[in-house]
Amino acid sequence: MATFQSLGISDVIMKALDKMGFEEATPIQEQTIPLGLQGKDVIGQAQTGTGKTAAFGIPMLDKIDPKQRKIQGLIVAPTRELAIQVSEEIHRLGKFKGIRTLPIFGGQPMDRQIRGLKDGPHVVVATPGRLLDHIRRKTIDTRFVHTAVLDEADEMLNMGFIEDIRDILKQIPEERQTLLFSATMPKEIRQIAQTLMRQPEEVKVQAKEMTVENIEQIFIEAHEKQKFDALTNLLDIQTPSLAIIFGRTKKRVDEVTEGLQARGFKAEGIHGDLTQGKRMSVLNQFKNGRVEILVATDVAARGLDISNVTHVYNFDIPQDPESYVHRIGRTGRAGKTGVAVSFITPREMPHLHIIEKVTNSKMNRMQLPSYDEAKRGQQQLAVNKLIRSIEKKGLDDYRETASELLDEYDSVTLVAAALKIMSKSRRQTPVTLSSVQPLSVKRGGGGGKGKGKGNYRGKSSSDKGRNFNRNNSKGRNRKFNNKRGSNNSNSSKS
C-alpha cells in the first residue's frame, strides 16, 4: 500500500488524514486519487468498505478554493442517511482547509436548508429529489461547481434515478470533472455512465471476489414458515454485538422488528415510511449500541459505514447479486471481519447460485439452527460471563457465602443454578409473519446480467421518502435477473 504523501495530496488534507488515523492509502485510493488530482473523469469500482469516499473526496477538496464562497463540489447519493454520512466524512477531510459542507435531503424543512445554503457552503452532498427542488427554485447555484460526484453510481444511474441525474448534470458546467464510484458497476450502467463523462479513466480494483474476503458467507435453506424461528435461534447462537437484518418490504421489516421485540431482542426497524426524525434516531441508537439489531429495507444496504457491525442477515434474499454485495458489505469494513447469513427458501435456491456466480464467491451451507442449540448458545454466554468474572478476580467478598452454600449443596447443582439465573431464557413467543412470495427466476436468464426493461420502481421525483421500498403487490413479477429495471422497489427516493 502507498502512503498518502506519495500521491501528491496537499498538506492541509494530509493533516486531516493524519487526524483521522488514515496511515496508508487503500488500493482504490492509491489508484484514483492521482487521476482525480490531474482533473480526469474517473469511474472507480472497489469492494465495500475500502474507502471510496476519501478516494473521490480528496481530489475534490484539493481543487476547492475556500475563499470563494460558492458551491464548487457537488456529491449526489441515493439515501438521506448516506448523504449525511458522506457529508461528515468530507467535513473531516476538509476541516483544516476551512471547507464548509452541507448535506441536503428530503424530509427536512426547506427553509432550514435554504438558510444553510445562504451560508455559503463549498460542498453540497445531496439526494437527487431534494437537490432538483432546490435547483428549480434557484436556491442552489450550480454555476461554480467544478467537481460532480455520483456515489453509489450504478444505483444513481439505475431506472429510478437516471432522469433526475441527467437533469442535475445538465445544470453543471460542462467543463466539470465527474467522478463515479461504487462497489458494483454492471456493464450496461457503465455504458450509460460514459455518456455523462469525458473520456473517463476506469479503475477497477482487481479482486478475486466482488465481496470482501473477510466476510464469512453462509446460507441456510429454510421454508418461509421456518425462517423467523431459525433467525432468533441463530441470533441466540451467534450473539452478534451489532447486526443488520434485511427484509424485502417495509411491512416485512415492521413484522420482523415486532417479532424480535416480542422475543426480547433490542431491535428497531428502519424504512422509508418513517419520519426523517425517527430514521435518524433509530440509526443513532444503533450506532451507539442502544439498539443491537437494525431491521432494514435496502435503504440501509448501500454505503452506510457503521463500525462494528459484526453480522448481516438476509432474512429475505436480495433482489439481485449487486444488492447482495452492498448488503453484506455493511459488515467487514476497513479490514474488519464479519459474518453474513442468508435465508433461502427451497424455491429460491437458483438465486443463490446466481449470486455466487456473479460475485464469484461461495456461501457455505449451515443447517437449520434449532431451539436447543439456541439455548446452548445462551448458556455459553453465561459461561463466558462467569469465566470473565473469575479472571477479573475481586471475588473475596463472596467466598464465605459460597463455601456455606457448598456445605449444603453439591457444586454442580450450585453452578447449574447460577448459569440458569444468568442465561437469558428466550421466550419462544409465537410469531407469525404475513406470507410472501418467493423471488422468481426468469427462465433463460443469464445470471443477473440481463438488461432489465421492466421498471417497478417508479419515478424518483418524490422527496418525501414515502416511495422507497413500496410494499409492492407486484413483487411476484419482479424478475431476479431483470435487474436494471426491477431491483430497487426497495430503495430510497429522497
Minimum CB distance to ligand ATP smaller for 3 or for 428: 3
Minimum CB distance to ligand ATP smaller for 49 or for 240: 49
User: Which of 254, 305, 348, 463 contacts ligand ATP by CB under 6 A?
Assistant: 305
Q: Does 333 bind Mg ion (CB under 5 A)?
A: no
3-state secondary structure 250-299: HHHHHHHHHHHHHCCCCEEEECCCCCHHHHHHHHHHHHCCCCCEEEECHH
- Report the residue closest to ligand ATP, judged by CB: 51
Which of Mg ion, ligand ATP, none binds 51 (CB below 5-8 Å, type-dependent)? Answer: ligand ATP
Please report the sign of the dihedral spanned by the C-alpha atoms of residue 370, residue 375, residue 381, residue 387. Answer: negative
Ranges within 229-268 binding ligand ATP (CB under 6 A): none
| Residues 136-175 as x/- pattern, contact with ligand ATP by CB under 6 A | ----------------------------------------
d(CA 114, CA 119): 9
User: From the CB of 479, what's the least distance to ligand ATP, in Å?
Assistant: 25
User: From the CB of 333, what's the least distance to ligand ATP, in Å?
Assistant: 5
Q: Does 130 bind Mg ion (CB under 5 A)?
A: no
User: Which of 94, 259, 269, 329 contacts ligand ATP by CB under 6 A?
Assistant: 329
Minimum CB distance to ligand ATP smaller for 75 or for 230: 75
Pairing of strands 293-296, 215-221: unpaired
Minimum CB distance to ligand ATP smaller for 53 or for 177: 53
Pairing of strands 201-204, 177-182: unpaired
- Hey, is 249 helix, strand or coil? coil
3-state secondary structure 140-157: CCCCCCCEEEEECHHHHC
User: Which of 9, 13, 26, 291 contacts ligand ATP by CB under 6 A?
Assistant: 26
In this structure, are residues 264 and 281 in contact, taking their beta carbons and an 8 Å threshold? Answer: no
Three cell numbers at 447? 445470471
d(CA 355, CA 366): 17
Three cell numbers at 477? 413479477
* Stretch touching ligand ATP by CB under 6 A, among 6-14, 18-26, 289-297, 426-434: 18-26
User: Which of 25, 148, 339, 374 contacts ligand ATP by CB under 6 A?
Assistant: 25
Q: Does 44 bind ligand ATP (CB under 6 A)?
A: no
d(CA 223, CA 327): 22
Binding-site ranges for ligand ATP (CB under 6 A): 22, 24-26, 29, 48-54, 183, 303, 305, 329, 333-334
